[in-house]
Amino acid sequence: MNDPGIHAESYVIKKLKYMETKRKLKWEKIHIIVVRLNKRNEDISFSMSKPCIQCKEALQKTKINLISWSNDQGSFDSCKVCELCSSHVSRKYR
């Protein structure tokens, strides 16, 4: 995960797609959890890691059902990938 420019989500999707070439994957059973840790001196805290727009779109191209991410309060938020939407972008209907 040290590759700059690659987000955790896209990295995971890449890995999953590779795994799919080896065996059958049940995408709808996959639950992705994104955790971002902040390290300041010796203090480690969670930071907001809600998927960005690109990751959201990449996730929505898969059949992955659920996603969770850590938030600033140190807990997790989760929602269905299909309901994931960024507050900055208006929802587009196909």
Chain residues in the site for Zn ion (CB under 5 A): 7, 52, 55
Between 5 and 24, CB nearer to Zn ion: 5
Rg of the chain, C-alpha, whole Å: 14
Between 26 and 88, CB nearer to Zn ion: 88
Q: How far is the CB of 60 from Zn ion (least distance, A)?
A: 13
Do 67 and 51 meet the contact criterion of CB atoms below 8 Å apart? yes
Between 32 and 55, CB nearer to Zn ion: 55
Can you tell me the distance from the alpha carbon of 78 to that of 70, in angstroms, rounded to the nearest whole number?
9
